[in-house]
Structure 1
């Protein structure tokens, strides 16, 4: 059986999740009367101690909706140079929000309060865009799944409050961070003006993300979601998967982290592995020597039945997930020894 470590988005619903989906009560979410969508949104808002939530098809949409609501055309978003909202969302900040970006270089993608304070433009300078939004990513994908300490986020929030900037969290893998830090979703709800969480990564849903914020913010986001073609009808079948995941799949993320660390130990003695990024959650990134291209190495992995992705000219990424088992972990160790 192939071992798919390309992403934690490749999982299939568990039998129990499928049962919850098939038995869901549904309505029409464009009319706002799908009871299961409404229950998911209320559950997510309550979990984070925030007022409201909006169920969307993807994390890109929830991030882009947040940016669109928080900004005005010609304003500026401050984020790290490795941020998903900048690298992997199709230029959406410019396309959807007509806003500029100021890129900072943080610690594996984590920026700090001092950097942000220095990056804020003088609002009276007509030559510069008005700084309106700071966006953080937790965990940081390009940083190898590293995560913030809540104290660092609270310091950033203080800077944002002092300078009237909104603070958004791309929390696609936020629950991976929370199970490691034992911090509370409620504490995050107090620190951020908006939070995006993905249900189709480590939580194992087939599709879907949630945007969480104040009632007025979500009302505006719903309008922009409609304009983007993001309204959907009997979405309760998908929302039921989200409810099941929030109830049953959060704590099991620790298993993914354990297996990721085990992969790190497997990679250490391999002659072709020059560097392994610190493994904090479920993402493993490693560097090959200049003599080996990541594209060639990933092709060799595929010949051994292992699916991975390149993450740079000489970087390869593995991501552990719900469908990656201990049996596959053992098979992976045997296969890695034979790649080169």
Structure 2
């Protein structure tokens, strides 16, 4: 099955499976797992931070960041389409008593910094206290430019706020720009990086920040049930995700371009190829096409997608260029018969 639903469906590589099988482990809650410790130290050094924390997921890492930056009754500013606002079950509000202040994302995924500035609350007890700006890179597969990040950092600094990066796919952003991941993360007080999407690890994300921030996050992680024991089995795969899988993302980006080109030639689909910057292709279905029926037909043809009027198709390590051509052919055949 050619699975284009997400890059979260990636299987761990053979090298990861071998590393997991032979990992030296200990009790991470005691700080005794050498493989986890090595991953955290390596990641902090590689990505330009003082410290790092290995977490179970990007959702957990983002929640720990919000709860470590903000107190009860504080708020964070983010985009309407931000994952940590829209797709993480309201965790900041429910578990952290932290108010999100979402503002509109622009077509390129950015937030107008004038809008961000206007959303910052006055120092008045009537209002939640604005503490944090949260950005996402990539967002919808689109890359935020470096100058924009520098300007956002300057705004946060001038207003006395912290700035956080939801970097679930920041490795894709780095590869697309020919940069190191640290070049992007340099503008942020804290950042997350998902190891289990395009980087192929089976489980885990990293949270990065200064030493005191990570100490707070480690305490919150324990409180939220995220303390793991012999987690080196997972961290061993995470290390290979960082050292072996980042540069390879360029192949996924190239395959996304091929997919976008092929689908744009199909009458029932509308694809804006200028928006395909990394490993995501968005295709609008003709109003006469039933998304659920198309999804069923494609599954019968060996292609798995999520049913929607706006299709999000994500390339990843387990999809080869030959699979992209099979997918284009399957779309042509199925759309001719729905």
| TM-score relative to the length of structure 1 | 0.95
Which residue number corresponds to residue 326 of structure 1?
321
Does residue 280 (structure 1) correspond to residue 277 (structure 2)? The answer is yes
2:287 is the alignment partner of 1:290:
yes
Determine if contact 1:63/1:196 at 8 Å carries over to the other structure.
Answer: yes
The equivalent of 1:13 in structure 2 is: 12
**Equivalent residue for 1:32?**
31
Using the alignment, how far apart are the partners of 1:155 and 1:51 within structure 2?
23
1:267 aligns with 2:277: no
Range moving further from structure 2, 283-292 or 318-327: 283-292
User: 1:215 matched to which residue of 2?
Assistant: 211
SS state at 2:101 partner = strand
Which of 215, 226, 233 matches 1:230? 226
3-state SS in 2 of match to 1:50: coil
Change (3 A) 1:64 1:293: farther
Aligned to 1:176: 172
Work out whether residues 138 and 174 of structure 1, in 8 Å CA contact, stay in contact via their aligned partners in 2: yes
Q: CA RMSD in A?
A: 1.4
Q: In structure 2, which of residues 247, 250, 257 is the aligned counterpart of residue 251 of structure 1?
A: 247
Preserved contact between residue 298 and residue 316 of structure 1 (Cα < 8 Å) = no
Is it true that 1:187 corresponds to 2:183 in the alignment? yes
Residues 1:336 and 2:315 aligned together: no
Q: CA deviation at 1:212?
A: 0.3
Q: Distance in 1 between matches of 2:130 and 2:149?
A: 18
List per-residue Cα deviations over 1:183-206 (Å, max 9, x = no partner).
Answer: 333333431111000000010101
SS state at 2:7 partner: coil
Find the counterpart in structure 1 of residue 303 from structure 2.
306
Shift of 1:20: 1.5
Listed as ranges, the gaps of 5+ residues in structure 1 are none
Q: SS state of the match for residue 287, structure 1?
A: strand
Could you tell me which runs of 5 or more consecutive residues in structure 2 were left unpaired when the two chains were aligned: none
CA distance, structure 1, for counterparts of residue 272 and residue 176 of structure 2: 20
Partner Cα distance (1:79, 1:27) in 2? 38
Q: How many residues align?
A: 333
Residue matched to 1:160: 156
Alignment partner, residue 115 of structure 1 = 115
Taking structure 2 as the reference length, what is the TM-score of the superposition? 0.95
Instruction: Report how far residue 237 of structure 1 moved.
Output: 0.9
Look up the SS of the partner of 1:103 in the other structure.
strand
| CA distance in 2: counterparts of 1:63 and 1:296, whole angstroms | 36
Deviation at 1:336, TM superposition (A): 1.4
> Which residue is equivalent to 2:196?
200
8 Å CA contact retained: 2:259, 2:325:
no
CA distance in 2, matches of 1:288, 1:333: 14
Secondary structure, counterpart of 2:155 in structure 1: helix
Contact 1:276 1:287 in 2 (8 A): no
Alignment partner, residue 134 of structure 1: 133
Give the secondary structure class of the aligned counterpart of 1:13: coil
Please list, as runs of the form range in 1=range in 2, the aligned pairs for 1:46-85 lying within 5 A after superposition. Answer: 46-85=45-84
Secondary structure at the residue paired with 2:269?
A: coil
Change (3 A) 1:184 1:14: closer
- Please point out which of 141, 146, 171 is paired with 2:142: 146
Asked if structure 2 preserves the Cα contact closer than 8 Å seen for 1:5 and 1:318, the reply is: yes
Quote the offset at 1:107 in angstroms: 2.0
